[in-house]
Amino acid sequence: MTSGVFLQMRLDSSRLPRKALLPLAGLPVAAHVMNALSRVKADIHMLLTTEDSRAELAPLAEKAGWRVFTGSKEDVLERYVFAARETGCSRIIRATGDNPLVSAYMANEAVLLAEKSGADYAGFASLPLGSGVEVIRAQALEEAWNEAEDPYEREHVAPFLYRHPERYKIVVPEAPERYRAPESRVTLDTPEDYTFFQKLFAELYQGTPLELETVIPWLEAHPRNVS
């Protein structure tokens, strides 16, 4: 089964425009995300972007050794389905570009979980918000693309699957206890988030992707609410 890490990213966020290019500890946010996800075991690592963001994001992807796919801006589900068709990937590890603390370790564990369980959709509950990935069978996304009518399902890629548990095998156990911090939020969405990440990276980053064993104790000492 061919697997691919598919990272969706574009530059026109309304709340924090061009956030993927903001610097953190000397690197753009996008580089931190790709450096972390490069540690996820997969046959293909691919950036999924849009025509108006490609020119600025593609060089970062190519520097990281990633492929680049350009697809629909609004229909993100279609972007994933067409990228899977182009690459022949049958299992997709879905990640988003606003998560510079995505955990490669837990992503690899999610892939193993999907393989062992035969899940159509797999992941872990109770991780810090923004540190996890979704592992999805490409055929299930094809079906969602053909049938989903709710714009929310097309924008957020996977809701059609977990809204139909009678059709799809959904496997989302609690994360191992040492990785649980559901009250913590580590996604980059607002200027306040960026200030928070600047402080975190200034104190913790030492040139290699941060993992949750290091991040969670820091988060506990600097609490933020998910809301």
| CA distance between the termini of the chain | 38
Please give the average per-residue pLDDT across 31-36, as a whole number: 98
pLDDT in tens, 68-115: 999 999 999 999 999 999 999 999 999 999 999 999 999 999 999 999
pLDDT in tens, 108-128: 999 999 999 999 999 999 999
Please give the average per-residue pLDDT across 4-14, as a whole number: 93
Q: What per-residue confidence (pLDDT) applies to 201? A: 98
CATH assignment, 3-221: 3.90.550.10
Query: In this structure, are residues 157 and 82 in contact, taking their beta carbons and an 8 Å threshold?
Result: no
SS3 content of the chain, % helix, strand, coil (to 5): 45, 15, 40
Q: CA-CA distance, 88 to 108, in Å (whole number)?
A: 20
Q: Among 23, 10, 102, which residue's Cα sits nearest to residue 53? A: 10
Q: Is the pLDDT of residue 11 over 60?
A: yes
pLDDT in tens, 177-214: 999 999 999 999 999 999 999 999 999 999 999 999 99
Q: Which band of pLDDT confidence, cut at 50, 70 and 90, is reported for residue 224?
A: confident
Q: Is the pLDDT of residue 227 over 50?
A: no
pTM of the predicted structure, to 2 decimals: 0.95
Domain boundaries, the chain: 3-221
CA 200 to chain centre: 20
